[in-house]
């Protein structure tokens, strides 16, 4: 059972509360007026395509980067002036494995325990090794571990000092499904104990496991809320076209539908094609006409997060093109 030291974390309505964050790298606007709030005990998913500013946003929140404008608090501490306090109470897992490859697992954990000045360091390290199933590999050098084990080590290390907030930057990239499931179970266990989690990911199944989501593209927040809320807010309708469809026919069908009235986008799911649009009547009409002579059937399905995100990504890209 994890117990937190009293008085370490300031009581505050939000674990993360940042408003109007801006960050430029040269003339590149990497984070664009970002505001988001994460409640204590919440698992907050951070989504967006590569290079959308997720990592930069996370670094801004834990004081590793200084915003050009805007500000806010993390665990009640100011992200600009109190980054020392934030560092003591936040567990940050970098996107790239950033532990010392020439130290063993135990040595890495021991180092982290020392720099966080943990009382009863040895027990903490041993417990952490046991909890994460790293015990028998404790003396192996971190550099010789496979991706999944490295990720376990990184997670163990960033949770070692029992932070009240975890900032996890694509923690499951390159990790096998079983390990990912274990990882998410662990996250939910922690959340139940009151730990807040901000986690960035590319996986839709992971997004659906989050209490709340934020979708960011080109540094700007495009949607925020629970998964169902985000889906509902976009007002999209989706049909699945099924049947004995070979891959080349799927592609041909997709090309046929592109640009037709009511069709916003198509996406292949196995041997079905999901067609999404905003106007349900027009979409259905177009689809019926298109497959009238073909041996396919069409079924109304739920619009998934994936369709919504692809849609968000496209519309934001088009909007940016228009702006230029």
Partner 1 sequence: MSRRPFFFSVARFWGIVRKEFLQLKRDRVTLAVTIGIPVMLLILFGYAINMDPKNLKTMMIDADRSEFSRSFIMAMHNTGYFKFVGELNNEEEGEEALARGDTQFVVNIPSDFSRQLVRGERPAVLIIADATDPAAASNAIGAVTRLAESVGWKDFGGPLTTLHGSALPFEVLVHRRYNPEGITQYNIVPGLMGVILMMTMVMITGLAMVRERERGTMENLLATPVRPLEVMTGKIVPYIFIGMIQASIILLAAILLFSVPFVGGIVELYVILLVYIAAALTVGITISSLSMNQLQSVQLTFFFFLPNVLLSGFMFPFYGMPYWAQVIAHGLPMTYFNRLVRGIMLKGNSWPDLWTDLWPLMAFTVILMGVALKFYRRTLD
**27 near partner 1, rule: CB under 8 A:** no
Nearer to partner 1, 50 or 192 (CB): 50
The single residue among 141, 179, 256, 282 that binds partner 1, judged by CB under 8 A, is: 141
Residue partners of 279: CB distance under 8 A and separation at least 6: 237, 262
**81 near partner 1, rule: CB under 8 A:** yes
Nearer to partner 1, 98 or 193 (CB): 98
Q: Please choose, out of 1-9, 78-86, 182-190, 191-199, the segment that lies near partner 1 by the rule CB under 8 A.
A: 78-86
Nearer to partner 1, 100 or 269 (CB): 100
State the number of binding residues for partner 1 (CB under 8 A): 32
d(CA 300, CA 228): 17
The single residue among 59, 150, 180, 209 that binds partner 1, judged by CB under 8 A, is: 59
Range 233-292, binding partner 1 (CB under 8 A): none
E-strand ranges in the chain read 16-25, 28-38, 43-47, 69-74, 77-78, 90-93, 165-169, 196-201, 212-217, 220-225, 237-242, 265-269, 272-277, 297-301
* Minimum distance from residue 84 beta carbon to partner 1 (Å): 5
3-class DSSP state of 178:
helix
Rg (CA), the chain: 23
CA nearest to 157, candidates 94, 212, 200, 102: 94
286 in Cβ contact with 266 (< 8 Å):
no
**63 near partner 1, rule: CB under 8 A:** yes
**197 near partner 1, rule: CB under 8 A:** no
* Minimum distance from residue 148 beta carbon to partner 1 (Å): 19
> Where is 121: in which H helix or E strand?
helix 121-131
Nearer to partner 1, 56 or 303 (CB): 56
Query: Which residues are registered as beta bridge partners of 15?
Result: none
In the numeric block, the tokens 């090794």 are attached to 129
Nearer to partner 1, 53 or 63 (CB): 63
Binding track, positions 82-121, relative to partner 1; x by CB under 8 A: -xx--xx-x-x-x-xxxxxxxx---x--xxx-xxxx----
d(CA 46, CA 98): 21
* Minimum distance from residue 157 beta carbon to partner 1 (Å): 8
Residues at the interface with partner 1 (CB under 8 A) = 59, 62-66, 80-81, 83-84, 87-88, 90, 92, 94, 96-103, 107, 110-112, 114-117, 141
């Amino acid at each position: 059972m994890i117990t937190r030291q009293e008085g370490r974390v300031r009581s505050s309505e939000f674990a993360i509360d940042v408003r109007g964050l801006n960050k430029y790298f040269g003339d590149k606007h990497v984070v664009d007026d970002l505001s988001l709030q994460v409640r204590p005990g919440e698992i907050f998913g951070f989504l967006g395509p590569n290079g959308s500013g997720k990592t930069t946003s996370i670094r801004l929140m834990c004081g590793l980067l200084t915003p050009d404008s805007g500000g806010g608090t993390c665990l009640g501490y100011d992200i600009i002036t109190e980054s020392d306090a934030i560092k003591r109470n936040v567990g940050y897992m970098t996107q790239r494995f950033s532990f010392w490859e020439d130290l063993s697992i135990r040595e890495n954990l021991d180092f982290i325990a020392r720099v966080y000045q943990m009382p009863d360091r040895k027990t903490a390290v041993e417990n952490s090794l046991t909890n994460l199933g790293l015990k028998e590999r404790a003396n192996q050098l971190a550099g010789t571990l496979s991706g999944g084990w490295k990720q376990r080590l990184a997670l163990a290390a960033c949770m070692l000092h029992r932070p009240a907030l975890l900032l996890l930057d694509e923690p499951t990239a390159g990790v096998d499904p079983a390990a990912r499931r274990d990882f998410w179970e662990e996250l939910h266990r922690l959340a139940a104990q009151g730990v807040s989690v901000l986690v960035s990911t590319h996986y839709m199944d992971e997004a659906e496991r989050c209490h709340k989501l934020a979708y960011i593209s080109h540094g700007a927040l495009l949607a925020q809320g629970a998964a169902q809320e985000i889906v509902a807010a976009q007002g999209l309708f989706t049909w699945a076209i099924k049947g004995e469809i070979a891959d080349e026919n799927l592609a041909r069908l997709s090309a046929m539908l592109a640009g037709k009235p009511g069709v916003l986008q198509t996406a292949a799911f196995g041997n079905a094609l999901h067609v999404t649009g905003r106007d349900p009547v027009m979409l259905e009409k177009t689809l019926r006409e298109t497959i009238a002579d073909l041996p396919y059937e069409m079924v109304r399905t739920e619009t998934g997060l994936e369709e919504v995100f692809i849609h968000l990504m496209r519309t934001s890209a088009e909007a940016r093109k228009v702006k230029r």
